Structure 1
Amino acid sequence: MEELQDAIEDAQYVNAMTDEGPKPSKEWPYPDKQTLTDWKASKPSDFFDLEKLCEQSMPLYMLSRYVKEETSNSAEMLFVEDCCRYRRLYGNVARGAQCTAMVEAFGGSTEVQNIDMLESNLERKIHGSYTDADLEKMTADTVGKGTGPLALGGALWDEAVGGHNSKNYDDLLWDKLDAIVFAQLKTKVAAGFKGSLMHEKMCQFLYLQEAAVEEDDFALFRVLGRGGFGMVNGCKKCTSGKLYAMKVMNKKRVKLKRSEQLTLNERVALAAVDSPFVVSLKYAFVSEVDVFLILDLMTGGDLSFHLAQKQKFSKEEAQYYAARIMLGCQALHDEGYVYRDLKPENILMGDDGKVRITDLGLACKITKTLHGAAGTRGYWAPEMLRRDKKGKKMPYGHCVDWWSFGCMLAEFISGVCPFRSEAALKYGQDKGKTEKEKAIDLATLEMDPEWDPESFDEDAADICSKLLIKDEKKRLGWNGAKELMDHPWFKEIDWEMIISDRQVPPYIPPKDVNAASQSDIGQFSEDKAFKNCKLEEKDQQVYKDWNWTNPRSFQTEVIEFLMYEKALGRPLTPPRAANGGCCQIS
């Protein structure tokens, strides 16, 4: 009977992944008119200024819909959107192509070479009057102050790109023209937009963005894995039909292991890091007995699962996965975090074949006194194990992640982690360490791995050796991920494509349950200690600031819902279930 239930849940999960379009099972809880009026009145005076609104993706989408559907100003809106798109792109090739397309579309010729010529052509293409005074005023008021639609993600890759593109247009050109066109657009449409149904719907969703979600807002699918304090399930947001992963951590189990601070660290770190190479936190909320994290649903399984299937990865696969993981680590380091638990089990694959770092439970801020082993033995860096002359544990920093990265990279290439191998165990035992754990630790501190030429070419052996240097100050990565990017082993990698998240993955997982069976995942036993554990008010207060909604993720979810609704040509409403609940999975 248990196997039948597993099969049913697997089928529901696979069906949900392969459905075309969202299938909501619950109405959006829109506020009533008075509640929305009061909410609007509570906002700062400039909250609804068009420049402020258009710094957010969903209001910009709503404005675009209004302009294109209700006015004759589509050309201005298209130009503003193209400027936003240009600023989000990474690299000379991508920006150059977008720049060329914009010149052709709005300038009338690819031979336009300066702002005056392009501005003149824009004036003919887009009905408006742009004077030198407009240019001077709008540049002073808007450009470089983080306002206006062009500010959306504009600074993300500026330093790397260097403000250059293949057509030799300065980025400031698009800043200036966008400022002018947006000013004209605002003059023509702001009043109408404010009084439109689209504006009212935008306000409703902005109100909902601030409202806390709860357990009943999600419908569960099958169990995907088990963490230290609870299960990870596939789930669906009932109002939008969007699929996510739900990580549940039981407050009693957290309390019994005295891991409240680790749990809070994970929640804070996930909210702080915004990277396509790290699993993103969408929502966080609590119940009386559990805390919840709603995360990206990565349906392709973890890299440990795929390594077990393939024994080792091809060079193309190893390079692609390593490049993304490396950038994920750097994203954490840039925010002042060290990850401390890098291993194949913690790298998840999406249904598109792209991988991300997950499980930030051991991630923490880097401090001068950070010390102690954390993570998984065999991936620990030597500095986690070292002690000074007085026997005290020594501090460490971000370079422990590059050591773990080196262990994992060697595992990708050969199928074996160097310090979880028979060679490492034998090394420690030959040195007198009879216990397996202590033998591995000694190997970590002293052994230099050998690189089998059947698996490791010269560049592969070199990069792994340099990542596994015992002295962290001499280790590859001490000065950041750029040191790794410049290594010859990565010479075939197109970093522009990787960083911009446009590289096609070398492997696409099947549309299936790429995870262990539910019986293998198992369940938590409720032993005597668990049953006797009582949650007091002070235990609940630990999580008083837990609730959180990722604004960008919520707005993306809303945009996807509205776009699908528009394509259908009708409102997307949930089926009327006999029980009236949200837990019916369709």
Structure 2
Amino acid sequence: MGAVCCRPTPVDFDGEVSLFHFVLLRCVGKGAFGKVRVVQHKQTRDLYALKYINKAKCVKMKAVANVIQERRLLEEVDHPFIVNLRYAFQDDENCFFVLDLMLGGDLRFHLERLGSLQEDVVKFYVAQLSSAIEFLHEIGIMHRDIKPDNILLDERGNAHLTDFNIAVHFSERKLNGVAGSMAYMAPEILAKRGYTCHIDWWSLGVCVYELIFGRRPFRGRSNSDLTYNISKDPLKWPEDAEKKCSRPGMLVIKGLLDRDPSRRFGCKPNGEGYQELRRHPWLKTIDWDTLESKEQIPPFIPDSKKANFDASHELEELLLEDNPLKAKQRKLNQENMSAEMRVMEEQFTSYDFKKMQRRSYYPHNQQLISTATATSSGLASSRPATPATDLRPDNGVGIASGSMELQGMDAEETTKEVTEKEYQ
């Protein structure tokens, strides 16, 4: 008589979403609290990126507020050039974000591989990213950490903004908390005199300069040097600037890097700043009518035959992981749960984009409720959203670790993270 085969427990796709709904595929990123895996939904066969965050590490690093904040903000966001949330859930050990899959890698990866990018390529990204930034500002969200690490390409070459780990809602009241990656911080953040969403346009300007010229516009060997240069140093151009960038392109960079937010490109009220940018001669070749539908062929298409991320994460998962990720039934014990773990249990709520409406958890934004998109883009992040530090991909999964300043690194790669619990 043959042995009885152990059959897997049937998956209830009509019930609440869980890890049992997905097939775990390759590991493509590692962070401070967890990893990023490519996953496939067992019923729809759609591919996604699964970002998972270890709860115990999250509590130890005092990052619970940031995890909850990111989870809430992502429910409001649905845009063609943003890495959107599709599912959210948790088990006893981890919180899970299931996101659009981006197979083209991040711009930091491509920048380090190529040294710099062609002006026309960067121009295309500016058009797409400015559309995403304007959308966020319209619904009252500022990103606060725009940098090449947080810009992901899909397999066709379209740019998407990711990592909402220190993003916050804003209103007429200016914020004072120092947050972001220092090399990309606007001068008004460093001055600690209050700032609003205008900082995102400055960060975009730093990215444009860096992508075209292969270096950042402001540098320094120490925090104080970098702060001074961002706040006071005149904008300088490389000797070969005219070979890499046209004069209209330089004017856009200069406009985005204007220290006066009232003059900075993109910052005029009621969307006029965005319209001004769209009308600029540098962007006259952009077909804005078909941009968001992604009908245009991007000028740079990632090589689909190569891994556009650090392949060592997969090897590490196979050889060194002592607690590999797998779907487990919950054994919740509320009695022995710490206050922080209880907060995550109660406030990191499940989300299924096919069953629920996107909504705001913020009273002043309740009018932003919108119906969820019923179809997946089939695209998602192949890399973890890095934390609000300028560390490399294997050092962060997109969760700020409370108030801390990283030591032992160049000032350009030093970040002071969010210190305000602004998710409440």
- CA separation of 1:418 and 1:337: change in aligned 2, threshold 3 A: same
Q: Secondary structure of the equivalent of 1:481?
A: helix
Identical pairs, percent: 30
Matched with 2:215 is: 416
Cα distance per residue 1:152-207 (max 9 Å; x no partner): xxxxxxxxxxxxxxxxxxxxxxxxxxxxxxxxxxxxxxxxxxxxxxxxxxxxxxxx
Runs of 4+ in 1 over 4 A off after TM superposition: 25-28, 519-526
State the structure with more CA Rg: 1
Which digits, 9 at most, give the CA deviation of each residue in 1:73-109, with x for residues without a partner? xxxxxxxxxxxxxxxxxxxxxxxxxxxxxxxxxxxxx
> Could you tell me how far apart the structure 2 residues matched to 1:497 and 1:260 are?
40
Deviation at 1:471, TM superposition (A): 1.3
SS for the counterpart of 2:74 is helix
Superposed displacement of residue 360, structure 1: 0.8
Structure 2 match to 1:377: 182
Paired with 2:185 and 2:45, the residues of 1 have a C-alpha distance of: 41
Per the TM alignment, residue 437 of structure 1 is displaced from its structure 2 partner at its CA by 2.1
- Structure 1 residues 311-335: Cα deviation after superposition (integer angstroms, max 9, x where no partner): 2111221111111111111111111
Q: Matches of residues 457-476 of structure 1 in structure 2 within 5 Å?
A: 457-476=246-265
Within the alignment, does 1:230 sit opposite 2:213 as a pair?
no
Which residues in structure 2 correspond to 1:465-504 (within 5 Å)? Answer: 465-479=254-268, 480-504=273-297
Which of 541, 545, 559 is equivalent to 2:343?
541
User: For 2:180 and 2:314, how far apart are their aligned partners in 1?
Assistant: 23
Query: Residues 383 and 396 of structure 1 are in contact (CA less than 8 Å); yes or no, is this contact kept in structure 2?
Result: yes
> Does residue 309 in structure 1 map to residue 128 in structure 2?
no
Instruction: Say if 1:406 and 1:243 are closer, same or farther in 2 by CA, change over 3 A.
Output: same
Letter in 2 for 1:408: C
Q: Distance in 1 between matches of 2:161 and 2:30?
A: 17
Counterpart of 2:346, as a letter, is K
SS state at 1:255 partner:
helix
Structure 2 Cα separation of the partners of residues 221 and 469 of structure 1: 45
Distance 1:223 1:490, change over 3 A: same
| Higher percent of residues as helix | 1
Q: Deviations over 1:474-530 (max 9, x none)?
A: 11111232221122211111111213322111122222321012259978999xxxx
Aligned equivalent of 2:168: 364
How far apart, CA to CA, are the structure 1 residues paired with 2:247 and 2:303? 34
Give CA deviations for 1:42-70 in whole Å, capped at 9, x if unaligned: xxxxxxxxxxxxxxxxxxxxxxxxxxxxx
Decide whether aligned partners of structure 1 residues 314 and 334 sit closer, same or farther in structure 2, where only a CA change above 3 A counts. same
Distance in 2 (CA, whole Å) between partners of 1:521 and 1:468 is 41
Unpaired runs of at least 5, structure 2:
1-7, 323-335, 355-370, 379-424
- 1:294, 1:554 → 2: CA distance? 15
SS of residue matched to 1:245: strand
Contiguous gaps of at least 5 residues in structure 1: 1-24, 31-207, 387-392, 426-434, 527-533, 561-586
Q: Secondary structure at the match of 1:418?
A: coil
Say which SS state the counterpart of residue 544 (structure 1) adopts.
helix
CA separation of 1:538 and 1:381: change in aligned 2, threshold 3 A = closer
Distance 1:519 1:295, change over 3 A: closer
Structure 1 or 2: more strand by fraction: 2
Q: Tell me the TM-score normalised to structure 1 length.
A: 0.53
1:341-392 CA distance string (max 9 Å, x none): 1011111111121121111111100141412221211100001110xxxxxx
Which residue does 1:290 correspond to in 2?
Answer: 94
**Cα distance, 1:454–1:535 mapped onto 2, change above 3 Å:** farther
Q: Does the 8 Å contact 1:351/1:508 carry over to 2?
A: yes
CA positional deviation for 1:556: 2.0
State the distance in 2 between where 1:522 and 1:304 align: 22
Structure 1 residues 11-51: Cα deviation after superposition (integer angstroms, max 9, x where no partner): xxxxxxxxxxxxxx997636xxxxxxxxxxxxxxxxxxxxx
- Deviation string for 1:400-442 (max 9, x for gaps)? 00000000011121111212xxxx32xxxxxxxxx52221111
Identify if the C-alpha distance between structure 1 residues 232 and 472 changes in structure 2 by more than 3 Å, giving closer, same or farther.
same
Alpha-carbon separation, structure 2, partners of 1:257 and 1:369: 27
Code of the residue aligned with 1:456 in structure 2: it is: C
User: Residue 252 of structure 1 contacts residue 535 of structure 1 at CA under 8 Å; is this kept in 2?
Assistant: no
Partner AA of 1:448 in structure 2: P
Whose relative contact order is higher, 1 or 2, with alpha carbons under 8 Å and at least 6 apart?
2
Residue pairs, 1:385-404, within 5 angstroms: 385-386=190-191, 393-404=192-203
